[in-house]
Each structure stands twice: as structure tokens, then as C-alpha cells.
Chain A
Amino acid sequence: MSKLLVIGEAREGELRNVTFEAVAAAKKIDSEAEIVGVLCGSDDLSDSGQEFIYYGADRVVTVKHDNLETYTSEGYSQAVMAVIGDESPDGIVMGHTAIGKDLTPKLAAKLETGLISDATDIENDGDQTVFIRPIYSGKAFEKKVITSGLTFVTIRPNNIPSLERDDSRSGEVTAKDVDIKDLQTVIKDVIRKASEGVDLSEANVIVAGGRGVKSADGFKPLYELADVLGGAVGASRGACDAEYCDYSLQIGQTGKVVTPDLYIAVGISGAIQHLAGMSNSKVIVAINKDPEANIFNVADYGIVGDIFEVIPKLTDELKQVV
């Protein structure tokens, strides 16, 4: 039986969904594997550990230390390497999040292993595990296998469904003492700028605006629409370059690549760089006054019309059904 570590991640005290998706991914790598969750932080982690188990982990190791209050690659790598030392896993799975992207290459270098980043699906072909990942921002995909050493992978949020929560599951949550020290990098402050609540990469619904939104004020109706749908707001490069919104909202080949269930493109023409970032969304709605706009070629549903008329109406109509 193989042993797979899943490195969990919490935000504001709650485990992120991608952590549960990572458990499901580990099961896809080996359905028989023992799955050991790992959690780092400065507060009590036993409740989160239980939750990890309800979603499929067999047991959980927690590392609690004051120096793990906010993520740093140095602090977290010390904690996780200590757990890896104890457990000698056959593989490691983590979310391809800001923390996952920052931490896993460091661990891979320490362990002298390969690492497959940003997998969106996992298949088993005979005794080989095949990881599918987008390249060229989703313009194409590749299949990758590990040829030597640990099976080490990060998974893109929102692509591999988590298992059903089962609170009849039980398992051990053990604390491991690790002295986290000699940190060279200090986080002095965190300025919250991200659109309130929902993160773009994990959002099920995204309302994105382009140049057609015309101003920063023009984005307000988009936020209202996103609110009704419990979604996040994104933007095209054109809108960011025109300073209607922050670059952190940019979707496309430069910027974020997203795959929500529903993507509503508002006043976006549909340049190839933008399409690369969103065309693998499950359902795409385009609203644009130009019937020739390229975005209609990838949209499931399109409305040709004035966005400032359509969006408020759509928001009102949706309020009645959701």
C-alpha cells in the first residue's frame, strides 16, 4: 500500500476547498493509498484536522508554531520537511494556489524530485499515473508522467471534484513538534485588496468586464451581478490597461487562467490571449454590443446589446431565481 501526503491549506481558519480536492486527487493516484493530511499554522488545528478526515484523509499530522502564523516558504518547508522525514511518503499532493506554487518547487528541490504543477485531471493507464495539465494557458494540454522518484503534483482548484463529506469517518490527528527558526523573510503586513469573499481561481461563477465597461464605475453593476450569483469579478487585459480595475483581476494568457462553471463576459471582444484564460469554462455567456465580437465564437449563449441595459436587468431577473 502506498502512502500519499496531502498538504492542506486554510484561509481565515477554514480549510480551503482545494485541500479536499487534493485528497480526491490522491485517491485518483492510488485508490488504496493511506492518505496523510498535513496542516501548518499557529492556532489549534485539531478541528481542521477532523474536517480533513471527513473529506477522506486517513489521518492528519499538524505542526503548530508561532512562526507559522502566516505562510513563508522557509517556515512551511521546515514544517513539511520534518513530516516528510517521519512519514517517507510515496507521493505528495497540494493545491496549485499561491502557497502551493511558492512552496512545492522548494520542496521538490530539497527532495531532488520531479514535480508536475497545475494538473487538471489524473488518469491511470496500466500501472502508470498520467497527469493532464494545460499548457499555453489552456490553448493545449499535455499528459505527463513521473519517471523517477516521488509522485509529486499540484492540482488546479475547481477541476477535480472533492469527495462527499462523511462525518462518520474517524482518524487520528497528531501534533508534531518542529522548531521553526532562522526565518530570513518577514511578512510585515498584509493589505487586503482581493474582491471581497470569493477568490477568482476558486470561484464557481465569474463575471468579467472588458473595455466595453468603459470606466471603473462601469464595473459596479458587474459586482452586483457577481454578488447575486455568489461569484467573483474578473477583467480582460484591456480593462486593466485602461485602469478600470486592478491587474490582480486580469484573466488571460498573462493573468489568471480560470475554469468556473459559469463565465459571463461583459463588453469583452475576445482576443486570443483572453480566450486562452477562460475558454475552458463550463458555460460561457457573452454580452456585447458588437455582434461580430470574437467572444461569441466561444460563448454558449450570447446577447447582443448595450451592457448597461442588459446587466441590471439580468441581475434583477436572477434575484428572483437564485
Chain B
Amino acid sequence: MNIYVLLKRTFDTEEKIIISDGQIEDESAEYIINPYDEYAVEEAIKQRDEHGGEVTVVTVGDEEAEKQLRTALAMGADKAVLINTEDDLEDGDQFTTAKILEAYFEDKEADLILAGNVAIDEASGQVGPRLAESLGINYVTTITALEIDGETANIDKDVEGDVEKIETNLPLLATCQQGLNEPRYPSLPGIMKAKKKPLEELEIDDLDLDEDDVEAKTETTDVFLPPEKEAGRILEGEIDDQVKELVSLLKDEAKVL
């Protein structure tokens, strides 16, 4: 099976967001593979081990993303592709990313494309379904189980806590939800091997695209932090009195009852 993973490099979930000059400070931040994309990498490896074939991890970003691609290779992916937009694109949006990936996938004959259902930074969840639509293949979002048998895929899909049992056909794009699997940690031999695995770097020029083809349809005009929450009141006294006080505060002061 020809399996691909769409991967995004994101801030570590531990990171606090700092804004200076209207931009998010990213110099000192730690980065990780978007946690939902880790499920995709794990699932791709499992499906390959079961059905054979090859796992290629693809990211759109800058040179820095090489580290996360190497991590995916160390987990067990076979090949990595970095579509480096650093020199060509100032700002992109989901339209941009999906267009670039569409051009990349045009001649790839993917059987299965896996991605996270959302990235924890921008959190739009658009790129996967957009790509599937432009490639004309089926997609299922927020999957928690995947069984492939020949050309048929049986899927559990999380729908706001309920589970839909879905049957569909390959080629397929699926976006991964928590609960699908437990992503493995790269092993030491895995890390050593990853250094030698192929990592191809492309620019949009190599995909016969120019800036105008992928020009964003939306623009971010400002970023800001939510108002700082002031520490509230810790109630005191006997538990019975505290409970009574809490209820009256919720009712009369906060007016949420």
C-alpha cells in the first residue's frame, strides 16, 4: 500500500504564547509533531506493517520542520518530503497549503493519506478534507479505528462522543482522532536508521506552482492574548458553610444559576 502522512510542526503543548510587535514570539519555543499527526504516523506504520508498502511523511513548512520529519522517520516511516515554502510565500492559509499538497499528490497514486484531524495551533481542520476533495477521493474525519481489507475500509468515526461505523473505499484520506492508537516513541536504532532515510526537499517551483496559484484567500490582521484571568476567591470555613457560600455566590454574584 502506498501510504502518506500529512504532518505539521507545532508549538509544544507546554508552551505559553508570548506576543511581541503583533506577532507570536517563536524564537525560543520548543516544537513537536502536532499531537494528532502523531496518531497518523503511528497508524500509517501499523497499516504498512500489516499490508506492506511504504509510508511517506509530507510537510509544508520551512527547514526547521526537518527535525519533526526525522522523528517520524525514527518512529518507522520510510521516506519524508519537505515542501519548503520559506523563500516563496509570505503568508499562506488553508487554501494555500491544500493547493500545494494537491500539486504534490497529483501523480502519486496514494492508496491512503492520513493526517491529524486538527492542528493544535491554527486548529482549522481544513487541509485534509480540502485535499481529498481536490484529489477526488473519499475522506473520513476524526477516526478512532481503521481496518483495511482489500479496497474496503471499515472505520470508527468519533462524532461528538458517539461512534459511527463507516464503510468506504480506497483511495481514502482519513484524519485521526485521539483514541485511534498509542504513538510509539522512536527507539535508539530507529533514530540511527532515520538519519539515513531519504528526505526530499521541494519548493513550489518544483510542483509547477507559482505564488499566484496559491495566494491565500484570508489574512490574519492581528493576534492578541485573552484578558488575564485574575485569581479568584478561595472560600474559607467549614465545608458546609463553604458549599452554601459557593451556591449563593454562583446565584447572586456570578449569576450563572
Q: Which residues of A contact B (CB under 8 A)?
A: 70, 73-74, 97-98, 101-102, 104-106, 108-110, 112-118, 130, 134-149, 184-195, 199-201, 205, 229, 246-250, 253-255, 257, 261-262, 272-273, 276, 279-280, 282-285, 291, 296-306, 309-310, 313-314, 317-318, 321-322
Contact = CB atoms under 8 A, between A and B. Distances in A.
Contacts of A101: 125, 141
Given A143-B221, A194-B160, A296 B166 contact: no
Contact of B16 (A247, A272, A301): A272
B224 interface: yes
Main secondary structure of the interface of B (DSSP, over half): mixed
Contacts of B188: none
Given A109-B133, A193-B161, A140 B178 contact: no
B11 to A, nearest CB: 7
Contacts of B93: 114
A303 B156 CA distance: 40
26 contacts: A105-B94, A105-B130, A105-B133, A106-B132, A114-B93, A116-B218, A117-B125, A117-B126, A118-B124, A135-B121, A136-B17, A136-B121, A141-B225, A142-B224, A143-B224, A147-B218, A184-B138, A184-B168, A184-B169, A190-B159, A250-B178, A282-B254, A302-B235, A317-B243, A317-B247, A318-B257
B235 A300 contact: no
A301 B246 contact: yes
B226 interface: yes
B121 to A, nearest CB: 6
A190 B24 CA distance: 42
B243 A145 contact: no
Given A141-B223, A142-B220, A185-B166, A302 B160 contact: no
A135 B122 contact: yes
A191 B95 contact: no
B138 A185 contact: yes
Contacts of A279: 226, 229
Main secondary structure of the interface of A (DSSP, over half): mixed
A2 B244 CA distance: 53
Given A140-B225, A229-B257, 12 more contacts: A106-B132, A106-B133, A115-B124, A148-B217, A195-B161, A201-B160, A248-B161, A255-B178, A273-B13, A279-B226, A298-B231, A301-B250
A254 B246 contact: no
Contacts of B131: 109
Nearest to B126: A105
Contact of B162 (A136, A194, A280, A306): A194
Nearest to A154: B124
A313 B128 CA distance: 47
A140 B163 contact: no
Interface residues of B, number: 80
Nearest to A291: B234
B229 to A, nearest CB: 5
Contacts of B122: 135
A4 to B, nearest CB: 17
A13 to B, nearest CB: 16
Given A139-B17, A190-B163, A300-B233, A309 B222 contact: no
B192 interface: no
Interface of B: 11, 13-17, 19, 24, 35-36, 93-95, 98, 120-134, 138-142, 158-169, 177-179, 215-226, 229, 231-235, 239-240, 242-244, 246-247, 249-251, 254, 256-257
A118 B232 contact: no
A247 B133 contact: no
A272 B122 CA distance: 18
Contacts of B249: 301
A301 B235 contact: yes
A303 B238 CA distance: 10
Nearest to B18: A140
Given A105-B126, A188-B165, A313 B160 contact: no
